[in-house]
Amino acid sequence: MRNTKHQEAVLNFLKEAEKAVTADQIREGISEKINKTTVYRMLDRFVEADKVHFVTGQDGKAYYALCQHQHNSKENHLHNHLHFQCNQCGKVECLPEKIQVPRLKEYHVEETQLLLIGTCKRCKI
């Protein structure tokens, strides 16, 4: 039961974050006390359940965000929307802009991590 409450807390945090967040940011942002391993295990499970996806930031950390779409199958769980990381404030966002992922005959694509790096609208003065 405790576990369900934790899962809800994490999912709610992701829903309200309006940006992609690291496991540490999740732990700091929720009132429930959850240890690091549990958070990572939970996030892995969400990714497998196609609820959440992540992109690896410049700092090597995984930034997680809720999936905004319904996935019909594992095969379709490819994200073609872009992500943006600001090199001033470090914020990572999912962008609505999509790119065409090319079909590669000789390769099987399992994951996409599309990250643009630059200055976000708040840091761009």
Q: Are strands 81-86 and 92-98 parallel, antiparallel or unpaired?
A: antiparallel
- Regarding 9 and contact with Zn ion (CB under 5 A), the answer is no
Number of residues that bind Zn ion (CB under 5 A): 9
- Regarding 94 and contact with Zn ion (CB under 5 A), the answer is yes
CB of 71 to Zn ion, least distance (A): 6
The DSSP bridge partners found for residue 116 are 84
Q: Is residue 55 a contact partner of residue 87, using CB atoms and an 8 Å limit? A: no
Q: Which is nearer to Zn ion, 27 or 93 (CB)?
A: 93
Half-sphere exposure of 48 (CA within 13 A, CB side): 6
- Report the interface residues with Zn ion, using CB under 5 A: 53, 65, 67, 86, 88-89, 94, 120, 123
